[in-house]
């Protein structure tokens, strides 16, 4: 397909795809609970022979001429889950499920892929390579739907030899597309710490084992793991966002709960840092006569964009949208379970701008007022189609 033919068909399906997006946005579902969303996608794309994976995940393949399950294919992935956020956009199609919202753009991702499926199916005779459509459950919650679908065989029959995913990006204006070859996004581990001390009267601290004091020491000392053990050339983040010790002005509590996250772009250092955290909590507990329970819930690995297929995708999208609309992305310490695919097959994960050119700023991802520009649906469809038909 030519660039003009792709543009024409994107324009033809735009209103349909916008309707898909609004329907999905109005009926968001949390990770691993996307039953109605999956059913809606199936019913809207009856020409695809979907297979259910992990209950709410969907996969289907449009085969190129003279190809079948014995051939390799490229895959396109969209995530379909929402977040536990009370929506405050005031949109006429805002969430009807109180406390659940598509605040990360997965409604955009899934509807874009639905539109691409229509156009690919309509032009299957022009395909040089079969295309597998993956509508993935549970991106927002560990262990990550990608890992589950991979374990269930989503990359096989036909075997995927390259995979592409996109994500909305409120820092970019609508019409722009961003790429980055190599390492792009961080691994993500959740840290849960419970300090068991001995509470008592705040006027008699010598009779207590003060878990708040121990917790304060722990927070300060953990930062030394980053500043004094991490290689300065390896991006590393260790942050704590929860510190709870329910005492009072004159009461030292028995227990403190601390929660945080560790992120990096190097697997060896990741494991070393885990061990350093274990050593620190053990030694700190011993020095104060307390008990410290540490749980490191290992999350997504780092995401690496294959250099070759990222260059190929960037070139294809540039031809479709123009060089002036292509930008280079910076490293991000956020995490994405698309990283699991990138650890298995050559992959690229790119960004589409969703900030209206008329806006100076907009609310970001995971915000209750996040409202992407729907014109970006055109950008997303055009980008993915350029990749598919540029093979």
Global confidence as pTM:
0.93
Q: Taking residues 371-382, report their average pLDDT.
A: 98
- Kindly give the pairing relationship between strand 189-196 and strand 291-297: antiparallel
Dig out the tokens for 202 from the structure. Answer: 């705040």
226 φ, ψ (degrees, to nearest 5):
-75, -45
Active-site annotation holder among 34, 81, 87, 336: 81
Omega of the bond prior to 143 within 30 degrees of 0, cis? yes
Active-site annotation holder among 29, 139, 210, 266: 139
| Cross-sheet strand order for the sheet of 236-244 | 236-244, 255-264, 189-196, 291-297
For the chain, where do the domains classified as CATH 3.40.630.10 start and end? 3-185+301-389
Residue 237 — pLDDT band, cuts 50, 70, 90? very high
What whole-number percentage of the chain has pLDDT above 70? 100
- What whole-number distance in Å separates Cα of residue 80 and Cα of residue 110? 6
Is residue 79 annotated as part of the catalytic site, yes or no?
Answer: no
Partner residues linked to 163 by β-bridges: 75, 347
Which of residues 64 and 357 earns the better pLDDT score?
64
Q: Are 382 and 1 in contact (CB under 8 A)?
A: no
DSSP 107: H
DSSP sequence for 323-383: GGGEEEPPPB----THHHHHTTS-EEEEEEEEE-TT-S----TT-TT----TTHHHHHHHH
With the C-alpha atoms ordered 363, 366, 371, 377, is the resulting torsion angle positive or negative?
A: positive
- What whole-number distance in Å separates Cα of residue 349 and Cα of residue 329? 11
pLDDT at residue 381 is higher than 80: yes
Over the chain, what is the mean pLDDT?
Answer: 97
For the chain, where do the domains classified as CATH 3.30.70.360 start and end? 189-297
> What is the tens place of the pLDDT at every residue in 119-140?
999 999 999 999 999 999 999 9
pLDDT at residue 359 is higher than 90: no
Tokens 């849960």, located at residue: 192
Omega of the bond prior to 158 within 30 degrees of 0, cis? yes
pLDDT at residue 361 is higher than 90: no
Q: Taking residues 351-356, report their average pLDDT.
A: 96
- What whole-number distance in Å separates Cα of residue 260 and Cα of residue 225? 14
- The answer to whether domain 189-297 has CATH 3.30.70.360 is yes
Q: Are 264 and 183 in contact (CB under 8 A)?
A: no
Tokens 């620190």, located at residue: 280
Instruction: From 371, 211, 238, select the one nearest 293 (Cα to Cα).
Output: 211
Q: Taking residues 59-77, report their average pLDDT.
A: 97
Non-local CB neighbours of 306 within 8 Å, separated by 6+ positions: 162, 181, 342, 346, 347, 348
User: What's the confidence (pLDDT) of residue 360?
Assistant: 74
Q: Are 1 and 389 in contact (CB under 8 A)?
A: yes
> What is the tens place of the pLDDT at every residue in 75-126?
999 999 999 999 999 999 999 999 999 999 999 999 999 999 999 999 999 9
**CATH class of the domain at 3-185+301-389:** alpha beta
> What is the tens place of the pLDDT at every residue in 22-62?
999 999 999 999 999 999 999 999 999 999 999 999 999 99
- What whole-number distance in Å separates Cα of residue 349 and Cα of residue 181? 9
Is residue 268 annotated as part of the catalytic site, yes or no?
Answer: no
Residue 358 — pLDDT band, cuts 50, 70, 90? confident
CA 384 to chain centroid, in Å, comes to 18
């Amino acid at each position: 397909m030519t660039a003009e033919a792709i543009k024409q068909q994107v324009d033809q399906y735009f209103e349909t795809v916008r309707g898909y997006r609004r329907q999905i946005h109005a009926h968001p579902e949390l990770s691993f609970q996307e039953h109605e969303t999956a059913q809606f996608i199936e019913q809207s794309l009856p020409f695809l022979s979907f297979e259910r994976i992990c209950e709410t995940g969907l996969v289907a393949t449009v085969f190129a001429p003279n190809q079948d399950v014995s051939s390799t294919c490229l895959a396109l992935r969209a995530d379909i889950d929402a977040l536990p956020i009370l929506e405050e956009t005031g949109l006429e199609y805002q969430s009807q499920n109180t406390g659940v919202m598509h605040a990360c753009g997965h409604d955009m991702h899934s509807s874009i892929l639905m539109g691409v499926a229509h156009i690919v199916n309509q032009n299957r005779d022009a395909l040089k390579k079969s295309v597998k459509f993956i509508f993935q459950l549970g991106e927002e919650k560990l262990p990550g739907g990608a890992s589950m679908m991979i374990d269930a065989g989503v990359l096989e029959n036909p075997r995927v030899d390259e995979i592409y995913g996109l994500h909305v990006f409120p820092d970019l204006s609508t019409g722009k597309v961003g790429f980055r070859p190599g390492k792009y996004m961080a691994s993500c581990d959740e840290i849960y710490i419970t300090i068991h001390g001995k509470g008592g009267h705040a006027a008699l601290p010598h009779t207590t084992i003060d878990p708040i004091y121990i917790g304060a020491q722990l927070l300060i000392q953990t930062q030394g793991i980053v500043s004094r053990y991490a290689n300065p050339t390896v991006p590393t983040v260790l942050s704590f966002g929860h510190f709870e010790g329910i005492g009072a002005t004159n009461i030292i509590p028995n227990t403190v709960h601390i929660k945080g996250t560790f992120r990096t772009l190097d697997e060896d250092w990741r494991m070393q840092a885990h061990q350093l955290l274990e050593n620190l909590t053990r030694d700190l507990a011993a020095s104060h006569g307390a008990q410290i329970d540490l749980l490191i819930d290992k999350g997504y690995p780092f995401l690496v964009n294959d250099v070759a297929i990222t260059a190929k995708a960037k070139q294809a999208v540039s031809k479709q949208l123009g060089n002036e609309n292509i930008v280079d992305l910076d490293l991000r310490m956020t995490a994405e379970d698309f990283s699991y695919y990138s650890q298995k097959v050559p992959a690229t994960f790119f960004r589409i701008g969703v900030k209206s050119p008329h806006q100076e700023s907009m609310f970001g991802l995971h915000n209750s007022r996040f409202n992407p520009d729907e014109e970006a649906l055109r950008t997303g469809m055009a980008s993915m189609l350029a990749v598919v038909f540029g093979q």
